[in-house]
A and B are shown apart, each in its own frame.
Chain A
Amino acid sequence: MTMHKREWPTVVALAPVLLLVLAPFAWLIVSSLKSEIEIGQADPLSLPANLMWRNYQDAWQIGGFSELIGNSFLNLAGVVALTLLTCTPAGYALSKIRFPGREWLFYAFILGLTIPIQAIVIPLYEVLTALGLVNSLSGIVLAQVSNGIPFGIFLMRSFFTNVPDELVEAAKVDGATHLQILTKVFLPISTPAVQALIIISALSTWNDFFLPLVVLISPQVQTLPLGLVRFAGTYSSEYRLVFSGTVISFLPIILLYILTQRRFTEGLTQGAIKG
């Protein structure tokens, strides 16, 4: 009860900070509904006389946002699926099977976890070229999966490590193979870890810019952030288009987050701490 009484001063102190932090969103959304002339008046507090929904229609068509969003979804689905398929068994093997070279592999993955993607981009581009994967969504998916593999493996490994060894032993005694143990015993109890991995790999893929910038050259294969940057560069003098295009780029993920916020927050926090 005392907590509730004391809650007010904190809320009052936080309100202006929140206003400041969210002001860019509010300003963009309001400005995106203004006419070019109203934006030119440069009055941040004024509201549009008529809501210019046309700005969104124009930006959507000119910027090809349906294609960009579609590409981003394909990209995300590919990365999430492959990340789960590669990291779950690898995390299991690293935590529950003792084999020669395990230590060595462990350090190889730590290396990739530490080295920033920009530091390997030149040979990575050459590998993608050699495999005919430049300028294709499959290329970007493979590069991003590989970049996320160390984190994913460590996340799954640290979750599996906390599962008692006795569970593996008991299943072994019953004649189960490691693959069966993984799919029948471990996966059903791994929902929190799998959820965390899905959320983190989905968010980082959806928001990635560097790899798409390097790999995806033609507009037809580009993803949302890259497409928006290209669009904003091309139409930099038409503010109404840039503003509405920007809102199109951030609104879907924010709505999705608000709808799923509890799971999202848990997954992200647990994932970041464990991984």
Chain B
Amino acid sequence: MNMAKTESMVGAGRGNAARPLAGRSREDILVGADGAGSALFLMAPALAVYAVFTLFPIAVTFWLSFTDSNGFNTDAGFVGLENYRKAAADPILWQSLWQTLLWLVYHVVLAGGLGLGLALAIARLRRSQVFFRTAFFLPHLVSLAVVGVIWANIYDPFFGLLNTSLAAIGLGGWTQGWLSDPSLVLFSVNVASSWQGFGLYMLLFIAGLQDIDPSLYDAAEVDGASAFQKLVYVTLPGLREVMTFVMSLAMINGLKGFATVFVMTNGGPFYQSELITTYIYRLAFQSQDHGLAAVLCILLSVLAITITVVFNKWRARLRR
């Protein structure tokens, strides 16, 4: 879009009477004497809210991790690294950290994998694409807390959809206490979360597939490539950027996972489905050990920042 055209568009109907800034360079105008003032004015509402309800709490969390705070709005004394020592010696913390990492992997594989598989199938469709895309997306609209209530009933050992269906098709031997078996519970709850999560990843993959240059497929066709070769040499490389994006999104979403666990098992049995987030909630609002909780908060933040930075670097390298 050239300058003259834009000006005539914007200035249309206003005439050219007032042109106080005419002749100044682009740099002058964007920096302008009024730059800082206008910026502050336009940013003020967002900054005010954000400073009070996000930035300040971030700073205080950091401070709390060095104190012996054991309740809301109480005086807390500085104890140095005591909470970090306590945290390192806390077996539940290590268990919840390990389970959180496992939870991420389950979510990326289950929800990311299903999203990718369905996107590959659906993107080829013409007439029925909208139908399938809409129908497969439905679970994503349900609040994770409501998903927790739904799946707690699906897993109900006696009346639940899963065990009664298995019995009905002659697989009665496969019925399980899905949420009471310590070795199954984390996976079972993750299935519920991933059922809710995959729809968004599917949409993102479909958008990525539609961005692949169709002429690449024509070229592969001319070269006599099979459907499988086209998938490996055209489709998957074309999806690399979306794939790293979905992976980081799925990992961050996994890290934030809370509601399904809280509703379905509350971390049990025997902390076997405890995540960092649910442990933070327990420490903050039940046992009120805020010093230790703050260490977990920092651990959670560090994990989130690491995932974000690593994937951003990776994506930047793919773009080059």
**Contact residues of A with B, CB < 8 Å?**
3-4, 6-7, 10-11, 13-14, 17-18, 21-25, 27-28, 39-40, 42-45, 82, 85-87, 89-90, 92-94, 96-100, 102, 105, 108-109, 111-112, 114-127, 129-130, 142-143, 145-147, 149-150, 153, 164-175, 177-179, 182, 185, 203, 206-210, 213-214, 224-226, 228-229, 232, 239, 242-243, 246, 249-250, 253-254, 257-258, 261-262, 265, 268-269, 272-273
CB <8 Å contact, B35 and A7: no
Closest partner residue, chain B, to A223 (CB atom):
B143
Closest partner residue, chain A, to B207 (CB atom):
A269
CB <8 Å contact, A27 and B161: yes
Could you list 9 further interchain pairs (A-B, Cβ under 8 angstroms) beyond the known A86-B49, A93-B38, A228-B149?
A7-B126, A14-B118, A82-B49, A89-B45, A97-B35, A105-B47, A118-B300, A178-B41, A225-B144
Main secondary structure of the interface of A (DSSP, over half): helix
Chain A residues whose CB sits within 8 angstroms of the CB of B153 once the complex forms? 28, 239, 242-243, 246
Closest partner residue, chain B, to A204 (CB atom):
B143
- In angstroms, how far is the closest chain B Cβ from the Cβ of A247? 10
**Per-residue A-contact encoding for B138-151, CB less than 8 Å = 1, 0 else:** 11011111101111
Q: Roughly how many angstroms separate A93 CA and B262 CA in the complex, as a whole number?
A: 40
CB <8 Å contact, A10 and B293: no
Segment of B89-97, B127-135, B177-185 engaged in the interface with chain A: B127-135
Chain B residues whose CB sits within 8 angstroms of the CB of A269 once the complex forms? 203-204, 206-207
CB pairs A–B below 8 angstroms (12 shown): A85-B45, A89-B43, A94-B43, A100-B36, A129-B72, A172-B32, A174-B10, A207-B144, A214-B285, A265-B133, A269-B207, A273-B204
Flag whether B125 is at the interface (Cβ < 8 A): yes
Closest partner residue, chain B, to A210 (CB atom):
B258
Q: Roughly how many angstroms separate A85 CA and B60 CA in the complex, as a whole number?
A: 27
Contact among A87, A120, A214 with B61 in the assembled complex (CB-CB below 8 Å)? A120
Known: A14-B121, A122-B297, A272-B204. A44 touches B21 (CB 8 A): no
CB <8 Å contact, A114 and B304: yes
Closest partner residue, chain A, to B60 (CB atom):
A123
Contact among B49, B150, B285 with A142 in the assembled complex (CB-CB below 8 Å)? B49
Flag whether B195 is at the interface (Cβ < 8 A): yes
Chain A residues whose CB sits within 8 angstroms of the CB of B38 once the complex forms? 93, 97, 177-179
Flag whether B298 is at the interface (Cβ < 8 A): yes
Chain B residues whose CB sits within 8 angstroms of the CB of A118 once the complex forms? 256, 258, 276-277, 280-281, 297, 300
CB <8 Å contact, A178 and B280: no
- In angstroms, how far is the closest chain A Cβ from the Cβ of B280? 5
- In angstroms, how far is the closest chain B Cβ from the Cβ of A183? 11
CB <8 Å contact, B42 and A179: yes
Q: Roughly how many angstroms separate A195 CA and B76 CA in the complex, as a whole number?
A: 45
CB <8 Å contact, A45 and B168: yes
Q: Roughly how many angstroms separate A4 CA and B124 CA in the complex, as a whole number?
A: 10
- In angstroms, how far is the closest chain A Cβ from the Cβ of B8? 9
- In angstroms, how far is the closest chain A Cβ from the Cβ of B286? 12
CB <8 Å contact, B305 and A149: no
Q: Roughly how many angstroms separate A226 CA and B203 CA in the complex, as a whole number?
A: 28
CB <8 Å contact, A272 and B200: yes
CB <8 Å contact, A209 and B145: yes
CB <8 Å contact, B43 and A125: no
**Per-residue A-contact encoding for B36-78, CB less than 8 Å = 1, 0 else:** 1011111101110110111111101100100000001100000
Contact among A10, A94, A99, A209 with B125 in the assembled complex (CB-CB below 8 Å)? A10
- In angstroms, how far is the closest chain B Cβ from the Cβ of A213? 8
CB <8 Å contact, B255 and A116: yes
Flag whether B224 is at the interface (Cβ < 8 A): no
Flag whether B109 is at the interface (Cβ < 8 A): no
CB <8 Å contact, A93 and B42: yes
CB <8 Å contact, B146 and A149: no
Contact among A90, A99, A119, A210 with B301 in the assembled complex (CB-CB below 8 Å)? A119
Closest partner residue, chain A, to B146 (CB atom):
A249
- In angstroms, how far is the closest chain A Cβ from the Cβ of B135? 6
Contact among B2, B21, B142, B285 with A172 in the assembled complex (CB-CB below 8 Å)? B21
CB <8 Å contact, B6 and A166: yes
Q: Roughly how many angstroms separate A246 CA and B147 CA in the complex, as a whole number?
A: 9
Chain A residues whose CB sits within 8 angstroms of the CB of B139 once the complex forms? 21, 24
Chain B residues whose CB sits within 8 angstroms of the CB of A173 once the complex forms? 7, 11, 19, 21-22, 29
CB <8 Å contact, B54 and A120: yes
Flag whether B316 is at the interface (Cβ < 8 A): no
Chain A residues whose CB sits within 8 angstroms of the CB of B255 once the complex forms? 116
